[in-house]
Structure 1
Amino acid sequence: MSAPPLRALPVGELRQRSSTKWRRYPENVLPLFVAETDYALAPEITRVLTRAVELGDTGYTPPHPGVAEAFSAFSARRFGWEVDPTAVRWTGDVMMGVVEILRRVIAPGDGVIVMPPVYPPFFDTVEEAAGVPVRVPLTRHEAGWAVDLDGVETALAAGARAVLLCSPHNPTGTVHPRAVLEALADIAERHGATVISDEIHAPLTYDRDAFTPFLAAGEGARRVGYAVTSASKTFNLAGLKCAVMVAGGPAQGEVLQSLPWEVEWRTGLFGALANVAAYAPESDAWLDSLLAALTESRALLGGLLAEHLPRARWLPPEAGFLAWVDVSDYGWGEDPASLIVREADVALHHGPYFGTEGAGHVRINFACGPEVLTEAMARIGALARS
């Protein structure tokens, strides 16, 4: 039996939140920009955090908060991926984990491949680690987006030392096929390079069988790779600060063990508690209901785009709740989101932030109630007709 879809909280209640999504803009603006969701927390997370507040359990994160074991069990259950808990360390968020690994596997000035259009902090993270971003854009074809394996090979042959993979990809929602991941691992191994895979959107893959964790894509991937992920995107926990770093093999495990103890201390206690609760079997039904809600919302967005922005071009994402939409035919300039928030009171994410490939694009967060999405698209449609 399919899970019943979650229902978003009422907008009046959501506006009482103090997070970025609801405080960045005035109340006349509908916020569909940052990747926060509009649903109540999974009951197990609410229970655990409520009890912690009742106990005054707000001290330091313990040396063994149970995150590794919970993540291992979740990965086996949801992805069929067996993860040794001893290969897992934790930190404050995914980008913290990425930058700390990069600092260990590259030298200052080394090139790190990024694949735009891509999550904007990828560029900043590489620079924070003293690396130089090397752009190898995704290729676009009729069926979707794909890793440019030839471009990766060329960049590694020219001296790049690492690949920063977004899997599933943000903002396109692409789920990279296993064969592509295997080929990427082979290329990296030939050139003695490292692959770091950001898999924060993985639990939100609509066809669960389609997603392959990078480290489950064969021995080659395990020899060159790391995965960094968190329950934060799926379960709306970004403010609580907890992510995991997973080593592909013994050499990568040594790298993770060599990280300063402060890397783990950056993990918030509430983040650890919430991630353990999110990864628990008790939260599986909630996750299934979230996916059902997002499936409905994705379909609704498709219909609304056809109605209000018929010249827009997009491909429904294979994972996540973010839609990458090309509205360049409307003549709204390189950064349409700036015009849309100013003239239509709808906040979308700025396409150019994701790289030059984002000119004329917007990213739309559809993890909201149907009435919010409908009103937002009607406002943008009115702007298009004006």
Structure 2
Amino acid sequence: MHDFELVHDRRNTRSVKWDNLKELYGGEDVLPMWVADMDFQSPQAVIHALKDRAEHGIYGYTITDAAISKAVSRWVEKRHGWRIKPSFLLYSPGVVTSLHMAVQTFTEPGDKVVIQTPVYTPFYNVVKAHDRTLVENPLLFEDGTYRMDFAHLEKCFQDGAKAMILCNPHNPVGRVWTIEELKQLADLCVSYDVLLLSDEIHADLIHEGYTHIPIASLSEEISQRTITFLSPSKTFNLAGLQVSYAVVEQEGMRKQLQETFSKQGFYMLNTMAVAALEAAYNDGEEWLQGLLDILAVNKKLAEEALADNPYISVSPLEGTYLMWLDCRNLNLDQKDLMEFFAKKAKLGFNDGIQFGEAGKGFVRMNIACPPETMREALKRLTDSLKEFEAAL
């Protein structure tokens, strides 16, 4: 059984999260709780598979064969009740890469593409980099949680939007969209013939009481106009191996997207990525349950530490390991807010404004770390808030 309590030293490993602190936050003594990777080792099955592959000593061109596709389709059906054929799968280095390719393939310069803000930062560039028109459908924030604004979304579709990028579970606000919400969204996409690009990379990271539903699984009508993007990278902490896949049920769309991949030179995954994906999906389920258990511990620690805090409140975390903190009661502008956390609390969070104007006054905190690290982060946070209050 994996030890999720063990604290690993990640410094001097060229870690984006740990080895860039001075440049990002002004000091090496800052505790990084930002970028979406975890401070846990991947499953032993993955480590063994990578060691075995490394020891073979020959790292030539590597195929994604039927065994890989079978592992993927079996995982998706077992975890999410969605039966997909191996032939529906296209592989690429990452979800963001695939989103770029999809926008290029299925929209034209000037076409309107909808995103729901605040949202994962690369979505903005996925649209703007290809001279498409970015249309924001801001989420409604009411009673401490978020919901979709369907009236505004329908207006976006009526105004000619060609595509929409869905984030489910939603990063950074932590929502797992319900079946009722997804059905309403699907009905709108079908009615207005809008292509849906569904980023479901956090699909396996669902907290107790919630269920992830792949929107393409709801009906034949929506599946024919949806491309779903998935990966084991967030689930099993494999981001550095660059491995993902798209599920494209509509054959014509799949061929078009495959052609774009080929034009960009995406013919295969790297050797280690293939080994890791297969090992994770075939033998990683027990590890995943251990991860979900420890995330529940950290989630509870954070909720309890901030339960009655007058300055920071926590949006309900339904999915992902990314906690969205409402800091507007501190009454600091965004620059001062981030400086407060970095200089006073010695904590490195994601700046909420990275996720759009709707993120102003918020920060994102990564809770995928050993509880000892989580307790230290929460102590720094609550101590700094006490000092802030005392100075008023």
TM-score, scaled to structure 1: 0.93
C-alpha distance in structure 1 between counterparts of 2:32 and 2:144, whole Å: 29
Report matched runs for 1:167-246 at 5 Å.
Answer: 167-207=168-208, 210-246=211-247
- The secondary structure found in structure 2 opposite 1:68 is helix
Which position in structure 2 is the counterpart of 1:273?
Answer: 275
* Higher mean C-alpha displacement, 179-188 vs 260-269: 260-269
Aligned residues: 380
Q: 1:51 corresponds to which letter in structure 2?
A: D
Which position in structure 2 is the counterpart of 1:324?
Answer: 324
* Higher mean C-alpha displacement, 65-74 vs 87-96: 65-74
1:9 aligns to 2:18 (yes or no)? no
Which position in structure 2 is the counterpart of 1:19?
Answer: 15
Identity of aligned residues (%): 29
Residue 61 of structure 1 contacts residue 265 of structure 1 at CA under 8 Å; is this kept in 2? Answer: no
Unmatched tracts of structure 2, length 5 or more: 23-27, 388-392
The verdict on how the C-alpha distance between 1:318 and 1:95 changes in structure 2, with shifts beyond 3 A counting, is same
Shift of residue 229, structure 1, vs aligned partner: 1.2
The verdict on how the C-alpha distance between 1:349 and 1:374 changes in structure 2, with shifts beyond 3 A counting, is same
The verdict on how the C-alpha distance between 1:61 and 1:5 changes in structure 2, with shifts beyond 3 A counting, is closer
C-alpha distance in structure 1 between counterparts of 2:333 and 2:116, whole Å: 23
The verdict on how the C-alpha distance between 1:326 and 1:353 changes in structure 2, with shifts beyond 3 A counting, is same
- The secondary structure found in structure 2 opposite 1:323 is strand
Which position in structure 1 is the counterpart of 2:390?
Answer: none
- The secondary structure found in structure 1 opposite 2:325 is strand
Residue 205 of structure 1 contacts residue 320 of structure 1 at CA under 8 Å; is this kept in 2? Answer: yes
TM-score, scaled to structure 2: 0.91
1:44 aligns to 2:45 (yes or no)? yes
1:150 aligns to 2:146 (yes or no)? no
Shift of residue 16, structure 1, vs aligned partner: 4.7
Residue 89 of structure 1 contacts residue 264 of structure 1 at CA under 8 Å; is this kept in 2? Answer: no
C-alpha distance in structure 2 between counterparts of 1:305 and 1:207, whole Å: 20
Report matched runs for 1:49-128 at 5 Å.
Answer: 49-62=50-63, 64=65, 66-128=67-129
Cα RMSD, aligned residues only:
2.0
Which position in structure 2 is the counterpart of 1:258?
Answer: 259
Shift of residue 25, structure 1, vs aligned partner: 0.8
Which position in structure 2 is the counterpart of 1:315?
Answer: 315
Q: 1:198 corresponds to which letter in structure 2?
A: D
- The secondary structure found in structure 1 opposite 2:17 is helix
Unmatched tracts of structure 1, length 5 or more: none
Residue 4 of structure 2 contacts residue 40 of structure 2 at CA under 8 Å; is this kept in 1? Answer: yes
Q: 1:312 corresponds to which letter in structure 2?
A: I
C-alpha distance in structure 1 between counterparts of 2:231 and 2:64, whole Å: 18
Which position in structure 2 is the counterpart of 1:366?
Answer: 367
The verdict on how the C-alpha distance between 1:54 and 1:166 changes in structure 2, with shifts beyond 3 A counting, is same
Q: 2:16 corresponds to which letter in structure 1?
A: T
Q: 2:354 corresponds to which letter in structure 1?
A: Y
Residue 126 of structure 1 contacts residue 132 of structure 1 at CA under 8 Å; is this kept in 2? Answer: yes
C-alpha distance in structure 2 between counterparts of 1:352 and 1:75, whole Å: 33
* Deviation sequence 1:358-382 (CA, Å, 0-9, x none): 1110100011122222222222223
* Higher mean C-alpha displacement, 247-256 vs 106-115: 247-256
- The secondary structure found in structure 1 opposite 2:70 is helix
The verdict on how the C-alpha distance between 1:377 and 1:178 changes in structure 2, with shifts beyond 3 A counting, is same
Residue 29 of structure 1 contacts residue 341 of structure 1 at CA under 8 Å; is this kept in 2? Answer: yes
The verdict on how the C-alpha distance between 1:64 and 1:215 changes in structure 2, with shifts beyond 3 A counting, is same
C-alpha distance in structure 1 between counterparts of 2:126 and 2:66, whole Å: 27
Shift of residue 6, structure 1, vs aligned partner: 4.6
* Deviation sequence 1:275-311 (CA, Å, 0-9, x none): 121111x21100111101101110011112237x443
* Deviation sequence 1:65-86 (CA, Å, 0-9, x none): 7443221010111111101110
Q: 1:14 corresponds to which letter in structure 2?
A: R
Q: 2:7 corresponds to which letter in structure 1?
A: P
* Deviation sequence 1:188-232 (CA, Å, 0-9, x none): 122221000000000001248621011112122202101011110
- The secondary structure found in structure 2 opposite 1:259 is helix
Which position in structure 2 is the counterpart of 1:297?
Answer: 298
C-alpha distance in structure 2 between counterparts of 1:260 and 1:349, whole Å: 31
C-alpha distance in structure 2 between counterparts of 1:6 and 1:297, whole Å: 15
Which position in structure 1 is the counterpart of 2:385?
Answer: 384
Shift of residue 344, structure 1, vs aligned partner: 2.2
C-alpha distance in structure 2 between counterparts of 1:209 and 1:272, whole Å: 30
C-alpha distance in structure 1 between counterparts of 2:303 and 2:348, whole Å: 18
Residue 242 of structure 1 contacts residue 275 of structure 1 at CA under 8 Å; is this kept in 2? Answer: yes
- The secondary structure found in structure 2 opposite 1:375 is helix
Q: 1:17 corresponds to which letter in structure 2?
A: T
C-alpha distance in structure 2 between counterparts of 1:44 and 1:5, whole Å: 11
